[in-house]
Structure 1
């Protein structure tokens, strides 16, 4: 692989590191990277691109961008496939910026993303994670719509660890920026998804949305979790892990798994029911069930738009 290197004394430390994971995304990676190098900021930033041994033309496109934008693009081309989850952890470990943003290689940023999110972290010392709203795009169906987030209805005090445990997905992965000071956490003995990282990155701080404006585009239906049961099995492992690690938030974890169990039963997905049965039995309580109804208004905002859900599954 081609590693990144820390800044030299002559090169200022980037304020923001943008971590991009990609694999066989030659149709999308150029738009993703162009949207990042075109960001206008008054601070230096880097874009670390970790290509997981793509077998199409993705690596060539990444290297072309690295040649044209040598001061911004830091390519890492893996010679062996390490898998999506390990690649996610790996690329974030290479970041040297004060703040770290994540963008999947099939998504892309809109103008002012980096400037607005970094300023929000500058101005809000209690905030460890800041998300932004997204447009959601389905290529196959030629549909683009805004996410369902109603900014004015979000809690003004932000989200804490219990909220992230309860709602599972609050901000989309490609909308996330967080402080490098909270990056490191103990890895479990199962693969890590963005849910796990968010729970650990929040620490004792808060998470917010930067404002009401969408600052990125999420391509639905083509990511690693679009099909199969792998991500659901990892989520089940996460629930059991966090129920033990954070007993004070056991009720929140129980709410999350109970909601997923109800959805699986409603959709007659008995294979999914079998996955969530153990954490439901161990973690769901009467209080968890009450919370599902209590926070239903927020939960509805965090779903995929109906126009997207009627087509392909999301990432």
Structure 2
């Protein structure tokens, strides 16, 4: 599958209810370039592998499938399938989400025109339990002190470190030239990958319209204790690696600490300990000044 402009990486595990719609949305993309779809199933025990193989048989020139016999874990599965991509640009989608048919073209065109941009996201709609679609909220021009919309912003490494959930994971496309990064001795989250892969460039939004749908309340939520504890490890890792951004990291930790206190989560104490270890006096002021942006970056996945 050489000479592909875009590789789409799909991670899936026990998603027989959703994976068919996800993969069909990839097969139905309207593009003027060659692309590949790489599907990595993490030893599912349901019908997910059968459905994935059906798509490989229907679209043999587009789909490449990896069916693992032993469970690798979400982080390792992500790293594995992204490591197989040959496209100039690499997109990611979780197996329970799906795209609109203009997604790949819109993001590839954006990267073509903006050489400083290493990562590009887009707004997504949320499909709630029961099937109702909710419009994404990342649109309000009063979110920023100087006006404008989310798609007008450029997120450098400092901004991604501070705001964390800059873009939905299933909306991400990035340049293959920034794919490689050193991982830590714990499971890598999409936040970790974004911080490293933005490199010396920026992350942007391709446009102001949703290009896909994510299913709320399905899969590994950012609200789970496991994910929040991994965030604590990630904050400490980056505080050591990027001491010049400790103020941004401390602000991110403070954001989660306050949220956990408000919602009476048991992980509030964990974030407080990280807050003390990374403390910078300016974090309170930073948090106050950035609240309008934080309210716009509301993703439950």
8 Å Cα contact 1:21-1:91 kept in structure 2? yes
Identify which range, 222-231 or 113-122, moves more after superposition.
Answer: 222-231
The equivalent of 2:297 in structure 1 is 302
**Structure 2 counterpart of 1:208, from 197, 204, 207:** 204
Pair 1:146 & 2:135 matched: yes
8 Å Cα contact 2:222-2:228 kept in structure 1? no
| Pairwise CA distance, 1:227 | 6.3
Query: Gaps (5+ residues) in structure 1?
Result: 1-6, 305-313
| Pairwise CA distance, 1:149 | 0.4
**Structure 2 counterpart of 1:160, from 145, 151, 156:** 156
8 Å Cα contact 1:20-1:104 kept in structure 2? yes
Pair 1:243 & 2:233 matched: no
8 Å Cα contact 1:40-1:112 kept in structure 2? yes
Deviation track 1:211-267 (CA, whole Å, cap 9, x = no partner) reads 101000010111123664111110000000001111111100001000100111111
Q: For the residues of structure 1 that align with 2:106 and 2:275, how far apart are their CA atoms?
A: 39
Q: For the residues of structure 2 that align with 1:114 and 1:42, how far apart are their CA atoms?
A: 10
**Structure 2 counterpart of 1:183, from 179, 186, 189:** 179
| Pairwise CA distance, 1:114 | 0.3
| Structure-2-length-normalised TM-score | 0.95
Where 2:122 maps in the other structure, the secondary structure is strand
Q: For the residues of structure 2 that align with 1:254 and 1:150, how far apart are their CA atoms?
A: 27
Aligned counterparts, 1:71-86, within 5 A: 71-86=61-76
Q: For the residues of structure 2 that align with 1:227 and 1:119, how far apart are their CA atoms?
A: 33
Query: Is the alpha carbon distance of 1:100 and 1:228 closer, same or farther for their aligned partners in structure 2, counting shifts above 3 Å?
Result: same
Query: Is the alpha carbon distance of 1:292 and 1:156 closer, same or farther for their aligned partners in structure 2, counting shifts above 3 Å?
Result: same
Q: For the residues of structure 1 that align with 2:217 and 2:151, how far apart are their CA atoms?
A: 29
Pair 1:14 & 2:4 matched: yes
The equivalent of 1:279 in structure 2 is 274
8 Å Cα contact 2:9-2:92 kept in structure 1? yes
Aligned counterparts, 1:38-187, within 5 A: 38-140=28-130, 142-150=131-139, 152-154=148-150, 156-187=152-183
Q: Which runs of 4+ in 1 moved over 6 A?
A: none
Where 1:186 maps in the other structure, the secondary structure is coil
Identify which range, 282-291 or 60-69, moves more after superposition.
Answer: 282-291
Deviation track 1:67-106 (CA, whole Å, cap 9, x = no partner) reads 0000111000001111111101111001010000000000
| Structure-1-length-normalised TM-score | 0.91
Query: Gaps (5+ residues) in structure 2?
Result: 141-147
| Pairwise CA distance, 1:169 | 0.4
**Structure 2 counterpart of 1:290, from 275, 282, 285:** 285
Deviation track 1:258-299 (CA, whole Å, cap 9, x = no partner) reads 010011111122x11122122110123221111111111110
Q: For the residues of structure 2 that align with 1:128 and 1:184, how far apart are their CA atoms?
A: 13
* Alignment: residue pair count: 294
Pair 1:194 & 2:186 matched: no
The equivalent of 2:251 in structure 1 is 255
| Pairwise CA distance, 1:139 | 2.2
Q: For the residues of structure 1 that align with 2:71 and 2:132, how far apart are their CA atoms?
A: 32
